[in-house]
Amino acid sequence: MNEFQNKNDYSISAFSANGFLCKYIFVGNVFKFALFLSSHEQFNTWVSINVYSRRSGRFIGQFKNGSYIPQKPQ
């Protein structure tokens, strides 16, 4: 099974300073998703996101708000 197929390859959990904020299962571009979180009134307090491979469930990494976030981390 190919883990990455260039179509909604990621699942992301977002966290605020108070804990869990939201989870999105089908994400294609992690950088654009972070921009969406920052611009959304309900989620703009996010502090970090955990990124997973959607197909395998493998943890890819944690990214902090304000740091470099790649479009397609692997």
Tens of pLDDT, residue by residue over 17-51, are: 999 999 999 999 999 999 999 999 999 999 999 99
For the chain, first and last CA: distance in Å?
16
Please enumerate in sequence order all residues whose Cβ is within 8 A of that of 68, keeping only pairs 6 or more positions apart, or say none. none
46 Rama class: left (phi>0) / alpha (psi -120 to 50) / beta: beta
- What proportion of the chain, given as a percentage, has pLDDT over 90? 89
Q: Is the pLDDT of residue 1 over 70?
A: no
Instruction: Give the span between the Cα atoms of 34 and 1, in whole angstroms.
Output: 28
Burial class (CB in 10 A: 0-12, 13-18, 19+), 58: exposed
